[in-house]
Amino acid sequence: NAGVMQNPRHLVRRRGQEARLRCSPMKGHSHVYWYRQLPEEGLKFMVYLQKENIIDESGMPKERFSAEFPKEGPSILRIQQVVRGDSAAYFCASSPSEGVRTQYFGPGTRLLVL
C-alpha cells in the first residue's frame, strides 16, 4: 500500500517563475492537506481539499497561491511569481474520510527560490 507521493522532491525556481507541486494521496484517501514548513519551524496548515472541492483555505496566502484536487490525477499546489520568501518545504498529507481522519504525510517538496 503506497504512501502519500509527492513530486518533485526538490524544485529550484528563479524569482518570478511558477512552481507546481504535486501530491497523490494514499490509496483509499479522499482528503488532502497542504502544509508549509519554514526553516527551524513547525508545519503551518495551508489548505484542505476533497475531490474537486476546496474545503478550507484559511491558511493559504491570498495572492499567488492556489490549490486544486481534480476528479482525476494528483492534487496540485501552484505558486505564481515566486519570491525568495516562498523557499520552504511543502508537505502534503492525506486522510480517510471517516473516523479520526488521521493525516499521513508525504516526503515533502523542497522549494528553493533563487
85 backbone dihedrals φ, ψ, rounded to 5°:
-70, -10
The DSSP code for 58 is T
Question: Is 69 one of the binding residues for another protein (CB under 8 A)?
Answer: no
Question: Is 43 one of the binding residues for another protein (CB under 8 A)?
Answer: yes
50 backbone dihedrals φ, ψ, rounded to 5°:
-115, 170
C-alpha cell recorded at residue 63? 495572492
Question: Is 96 one of the binding residues for another protein (CB under 8 A)?
Answer: no
Q: How many CB atoms lie within 10 A of CB 97?
A: 10
In sequence order, the β-bridge partners of residue 8 are none
Q: Which is nearer to another protein, 17 or 89 (CB)?
A: 89
Residues in 47-66 at the binding interface with another protein, rule: CB under 8 A? 48, 55-56, 58-59
Please identify which residue in 87, 89, 96, 112 interacts with another protein, judged by CB under 8 A.
89
Question: Is 94 one of the binding residues for another protein (CB under 8 A)?
Answer: no
Please identify which residue in 21, 93, 111, 113 interacts with another protein, judged by CB under 8 A.
93
